[in-house]
Amino acid sequence: MLELNLTRQEKNTLLVVAAAALLGLVLSFLFKAAPSAGRIYAASFDTETSRININSAGKEQLITLPGIGPKIAEKIIDYREKEGKIYDIKELKQINGIGDKKIENMKPFLIIDSQ
């Protein structure tokens, strides 16, 4: 085995350099693995062709709507199953977590096809 005769100061210097290199590698990996961590991007829609039918949309489609996360998407689906088809977007106000502002934000992205 190779034995190095290093002074205490040399050992400390090597330790600091190794720790800095390790920290650099870890940070580099983290930023490359998740460059957008903590950022939420709104889905881009062509509102003329990409409207979502509130009566048939699944959870994955619903969560692309502004202000709708997984929990509210599930509440919309539960509401449809319990109450039947939605005929007016204002019916969504019956769902806890959806108010006038959310409805206005979603309106351009929705269609209501009750057939």
**pLDDT in the model for residue 74:** 97
Q: Output the average pLDDT for the chain.
A: 84
The DSSP call for residue 52 is E
pLDDT of 41 strictly over 70: no
pTM exceeds 0.85, yes or no: no
Q: Give the residue with greater pLDDT, 46 vs 13.
A: 13
Q: Could you read off the pLDDT of 56-71 as tens digits, one per residue?
A: 999 999 999 999 999 9
Average pLDDT of 8-37?
Answer: 80
**pLDDT in the model for residue 86:** 92
